[in-house]
Amino acid sequence: MNGSVLAINAADLWFDWEIDTWPLLMALLVGLSCGLLGTVFLVRRTALLGDAVSHSVLPGIAGGLLLAGYLVKQDDGHVFGTSTTMLFIMGGALLAALASTMLIEALHRYSRIKPDTALGAVFPAFFAAGVILIRIVARNAHFDEDCVFYGSLEVIGEGSQVLPTLLCSILVILFFLGFYKEILITSFDQQLSRSLGLPTGLVNLLLVSLLALAVVVAFEAVGAILVIALLIIPPATAQLLSYRFDRVLLLAAFFGLSAALLGSWMTILLETVGFETARAPTVAVVAGLQFLLALTFGPEQGLLVQGLRKRALKSRILEENLLGAVYRLGGNPPAEPVLLEDAAARLGYAPAKLSSALRRCISRGELTVEEAAVSLTPQGEQKVAEIIRGHRLWESYMIHEMGAAADHVHDAADQIEHHLQPGLVKELEELLGNPAVDPHGSQIP
Amino acid sequence: MSFGEFLPEFFSNTLRLTGEFFASLLGQGDAAQATINAVLGACLAGLTCGSIGSFITLRRMSLFADMLGHAVLPGVAVGFILAGSKSTPALLLGSLAAGLLAAALTRAITSHSRIKDDASLGITLSLFYAIGIWLLSWITRASPELSSEASGLNHYLFGNPAVIHTVDLVFLASAAVVILAVLTLFFKELTASIFDPSFTSSIGLPQRFFDGLLLVLLTLVIVVSLKILGVILVAALLVIPPATAYLLTDKLQRMVLLSATLGALAGFGGVYLDFVLEIGVGPAIVCLSFLGLMAAFLGSPRHGILGRYLLHKRLVLKTLRENLLTSAWRIGERGDELAAIPISDLASERGEPPSFTRQLARRMKGSGWGRLEHENDHLVLTASGRERARALMRGHRLWELFLQREASLAPDHVHAGAEEIEHFLDAETLRELEDLLDNPETDPHGKLIPPKSLPGETP
């Protein structure tokens, strides 16, 4: 901070493997398993169950810690202490997660309380109970309250602390490899999976248990709440980029991993420039940035692409309207040149608005300009004839098949003429028996 | 310390602290003022959250409220960084802005992508929360001035009654006044917009305006309650008391009043529990309210598990007793005296062993329709029992006739339906049946339909 920018050592910009290996591995493992599990909950439209479980494991963790404190008199200075303590914590968390999901289910099944209210009532209550228990634990044992919120990726100093997370990730991967078909079918069609005799209930139970497990092992690393970010955001990012379940799954794992890597790296970079932050929330923020990037720049569903597509459609409609106006004003062949002002007046636009459309039509060779008057080239004439043919066929269709009045069909046809596909026009022709004139008595080109 | 020593000490401590708590509510001085402030703040927050929460839960915005609660955190952090101190207005403005921004982002994600409502709530919640925690983690590591000033900013996570100053109370109270005034003023419109949005727009009320109004009030109440409950738990007070009230009443007006009262009570109880046990005000408030919800879930007279179980039991008992009455009536029809029916006759009419019938007949006790007499060998009906039996049989046989004539069922298929419905026919339906069937005298099996009232007895 005090030194000049030039004094920054290049080594400060990259991981210091002596310190950073285990924290990075931890973050990567959490990102991977949360990304995979979160995808399943996201496509099942129970994304907030991850939210609920991550809040409600807290009393289980604290209860396990409290119980272990009485039974196992050992304290080696880590948040979770010995491996026996870890077992108590796991058991407690699993129990709390299952109890909260069952309570949510019971509340809305056996009373008039709606599911969302049940969810919103149960998990804060579990969380509050957890906080109270933790306060009690903290009086008796070493427990860092802040780790609930900030996580403590930085203090992970040896491989043994990563071991539970590693085991959990392996379990998650094995689960996905072993039960891929069951997960896929139960996620999209519970009825089909039941009629196929798949163990739907078992898969659901395993999923919730694995979720609880993943949340618990992630707890020490990223804190109770930030794990939601890793459970929901990378899968949602993946969903913005693909429609296929297997690809979404792989992409979600990838985004979980990349958020962990980039987030950890960003913390180091930020620290070098004097902006010191905790590592876990940085990972979550990076996951959020990835999502926002995908939301904006996604190749198929991105906001940018959507906007461009909308603009392209708008200018195409404008061009086609211009061609149509020139055609209609020009009269029957041989057509006379039309003033741009007249065309604009017919369409109800200011002439200036048409100038760029005119330029594009000229560059495509559909219109020519002579002495401020516009006329169609043969190529333009063919294009406009097709559009007007669609327009007039549609008018006929509306009158003959839908029973619309002759003076009510024009506006609808005006809208649809830009969207008629050749296949549809052919069907209209066959249906109407290739009519020569439209309902207003105009010729169908 | 063994459990035997721990318990008495615990109780004496609790008693002493309870005394201190109430003494400080009436006392003077800084410590007493802090307690009074905490109680006032918690009660006000509970009152406001409870009343607006009713509308929020009914509008299915519970999880939205939860999202907003988490999402105001970066606003707190940014407000702090910009103001350089924990000045209340700066933090409030920051969190208000963050809440509205989060609401806008949630809507933008759902309307512009294929991400569903719940997932987009989760995304906004975790993203905003993460940014908030990220900023806080920077604040606590930043320059010494900033981080020493920031101590206690952590309390926005859980809330802390010790930091409730008069200025916070002023904000809470004014927010409460605004919110309660708006709720009273627009009660009818909000009710309509909650239960029937399409009706609201059809009578020309702008649905979007009321949704927006709810959103702004919701953000406001979250922001001013933050210091007491903290970001994670604030939504609980918006959801749990209304859900409890929802189980206890069917009228919106009563639900709002009840849930406001429950919220305020939980606030008071939470501060008290924290004073005595030092478990944190926010968690204590939430746990108390949740206990209330569980109590209502189990014990609510109409919507609770116990209430519905008792109702079911009552119905079963009533059906059982009424079936005995109709059996007795059938025996009486054959010319015997209806006053005292031998259990053996009743058993053979019903096709059961007499000992079983006697057990059933014991349960007539307390019904006012009849009881076992003559050494438990006869069922004696009272006048009201005979009257009820007549009404049941009349309903039964009229229904049979109705099924045969109007639903074209065969005479031997009508008994089962009538057997079930006889317990539920009310006077109105009976009168309609009589009119429809033209006051008939015999049923499809040729049996006499009992008259409207027994001869010699007033109907």
B350 shares a domain with B218? no
Contact A277 B134 (CB under 8 A): yes
Contact B70 A225 (CB under 8 A): yes
Q: Which residues of A touch B232 (CB under 8 A)?
A: 55, 124, 127, 225
Q: What pLDDT, on a 0 to 100 scale, did the predictor assign at position B458?
A: 42
Q: Flag whether B360 is in a domain.
A: yes
- A118, closest residue in chain B (CA to CA): B243
Contact A233 B137 (CB under 8 A): no
- A108, closest residue in chain B (CA to CA): B297
Question: In a mutagenesis test of the B interface, which of A110, A232, A244 is the best target, namely the one with the most B β-carbons within 10 Å?
Answer: A232
Q: Which residues contact B150 (CB under 8 A, 6 or more apart)?
A: B80, B86, B136, B139, B140
Which tokens belong to B232? 């994670």
**Paired sense of beta strands B378-381 and B370-373, if any:** antiparallel
Query: Nearest CA of chain A to the CA of B318: how many Å?
Result: 24
Q: Flag whether B427 is in a domain.
A: no
Question: In a mutagenesis test of the A interface, which of B55, B113, B311 is the best target, namely the one with the most A β-carbons within 10 Å?
Answer: B113
Identify the domain boundary among B210, B236, B262: B236
The torsion angles phi and psi of B183, rounded to 5 degrees, stand at -60, -40
Range(s) of the domain holding residue B322? 307-381
Contact B109 A295 (CB under 8 A): yes
Contact A282 B278 (CB under 8 A): no
pLDDT band at B285; cut points 50, 70, 90:
very high
Q: Which CATH number covers residue B317?
A: 1.10.10
Question: In a mutagenesis test of the B interface, which of A51, A54, A122, A292 is the best target, namely the one with the most B β-carbons within 10 Å?
Answer: A51
Q: Which residues of A touch B62 (CB under 8 A)?
A: 114, 116-117, 119-121
Query: DSSP 3-state assignment of A349?
Result: coil
The more confident residue out of A387 and B54 is B54
B227 shares a domain with B319? no
Output the CA–CA distances (angstroms, integers) from residue B36 to A210, A251, B25, B269, B275, in the order listed.
46, 54, 6, 13, 12
Query: Nearest CA of chain A to the CA of B137: how many Å?
Result: 5
**Paired sense of beta strands A367-370 and B378-381, if any:** unpaired
The number of helices, as runs of H, and strands, as runs of E, in chain A is 17, 3
H or E stretch including A339? strand A338-339
Q: What pLDDT, on a 0 to 100 scale, did the predictor assign at position A8?
A: 60
Name residues of chain A where pLDDT drops below 50: 1-5
A258/B contact by beta carbon, under 8 A = no
The beta-carbon neighbor of B112 closest among A149, A275, A306 is A306
All structural domains of chain A: 20-301 (1.10.3470.10), 305-376 (1.10.10.10), 381-432 (1.10.60.10)
Contact B130 A150 (CB under 8 A): no
Q: Which CATH number covers residue B158?
A: 1.10.3470.10
Query: Nearest CA of chain A to the CA of B189: how many Å?
Result: 23
Amino acid at B207: Q
Contact B247 A113 (CB under 8 A): yes
Q: Flag whether B286 is in a domain.
A: no
∠ CA B266-B271-B275 to the nearest 5 degrees? 145
Identify the domain boundary among B236, B265, B297: B236
Query: Nearest CA of chain B to the CA of A301: how many Å?
Result: 7
Over residues B315-331, the pLDDT tens digits come to 888 888 888 888 888 88
Output the CA–CA distances (angstroms, integers) from residue A66 to A62, A84, A340, B8, in the order listed.
6, 13, 84, 22
The torsion angles phi and psi of A338, rounded to 5 degrees, stand at -120, 140
Q: What pLDDT, on a 0 to 100 scale, did the predictor assign at position A32?
A: 92
Q: Flag whether B187 is in a domain.
A: yes
Contact B129 A226 (CB under 8 A): yes
Question: In a mutagenesis test of the B interface, which of A111, A248, A268 is the best target, namely the one with the most B β-carbons within 10 Å?
Answer: A111
Contact B63 A288 (CB under 8 A): no
CB pairs under 8 A between A and B: 198
Q: Flag whether B410 is in a domain.
A: no
A95/B contact by beta carbon, under 8 A = no
Percent of chain B with pLDDT over 90: 24
B344 shares a domain with B207? no
Cis peptide before B451 (omega within 30 of 0): no
The beta-carbon neighbor of B130 closest among A42, A55, A229 is A229
Q: Which residues of B touch A55 (CB under 8 A)?
A: 232
Over residues A360-400, the pLDDT tens digits come to 888 887 788 777 777 778 888 788 888 888 888 888 888 88
Most confident listed range (B131-140, B243-252, B343-352): B243-252
Output the CA–CA distances (angstroms, integers) from residue B265 to A5, B237, B262, B268, B286, in the order listed.
58, 11, 5, 5, 11
Q: Is the pLDDT of residue B22 over 80?
A: yes
B334 shares a domain with B229? no
Contact B280 A132 (CB under 8 A): yes
User: Alpha-carbon distance B385 to A310, whole Å?
Assistant: 78
Please name the residues between 222 and 241 in chain B that touch chain A, using a CB distance below 8 Å: 232-233, 235-236, 239-240
Q: What pLDDT, on a 0 to 100 scale, did the predictor assign at position A149?
A: 66
Contact A225 B290 (CB under 8 A): no
Contact A225 B122 (CB under 8 A): no
B129 shares a domain with B221? yes
Q: Is the pLDDT of residue B53 over 90?
A: yes
Q: Flag whether B376 is in a domain.
A: yes
pTM (two decimals): 0.81
The beta-carbon neighbor of B130 closest among A122, A276, A288 is A288
Number of domains composing chain B: 2
Query: Nearest CA of chain A to the CA of B205: how many Å?
Result: 26
Q: What pLDDT, on a 0 to 100 scale, did the predictor assign at position B178?
A: 93
Q: Which residues of B touch A112 (CB under 8 A)?
A: 246-247, 303
Contact A111 B138 (CB under 8 A): no
Using an 8 Å Cβ cutoff, are A412 and A398 in contact?
yes
Q: Flag whether B406 is in a domain.
A: no
B219/A contact by beta carbon, under 8 A = no
Taking all residues of chain B, what is their mean pLDDT, rounded to a whole number? Answer: 83
B13 shares a domain with B112? yes
* Complex-level ipTM beyond the 0.95 threshold: no
Helix A159-188 with A245-272: angle, nearest 10 deg? 150
B154 shares a domain with B18? yes
B228 shares a domain with B317? no
B129/A contact by beta carbon, under 8 A = yes
Contact B293 A121 (CB under 8 A): yes
Q: Which residues of A touch B138 (CB under 8 A)?
A: 275-277
The beta-carbon neighbor of B122 closest among A51, A150, A277 is A51
- B157, closest residue in chain A (CA to CA): A149
Q: Flag whether B138 is in a domain.
A: yes
Over residues A221-273, the pLDDT tens digits come to 777 767 888 999 999 999 888 888 889 999 999 999 999 999 988 988 888 88
Which tokens belong to B418? 């009538």
Identify the domain boundary among B381, B411, B437: B381
B317 shares a domain with B227? no
pLDDT band at B247; cut points 50, 70, 90:
very high
A305/B contact by beta carbon, under 8 A = no
Greatest C-alpha distance within chain A: 102
Contact B115 A48 (CB under 8 A): no
Q: What pLDDT, on a 0 to 100 scale, did the predictor assign at position B459?
A: 37
Q: Average pLDDT, stretch B149-153?
A: 64
A100/B contact by beta carbon, under 8 A = no
B121/A contact by beta carbon, under 8 A = yes
B317 shares a domain with B229? no
Query: Nearest CA of chain B to the CA of A281: how many Å?
Result: 5
Please name the residues between 235 and 254 in chain A that touch chain B, using a CB distance below 8 Å: 236, 239-240
B304/A contact by beta carbon, under 8 A = yes
H or E stretch including A376? strand A373-376
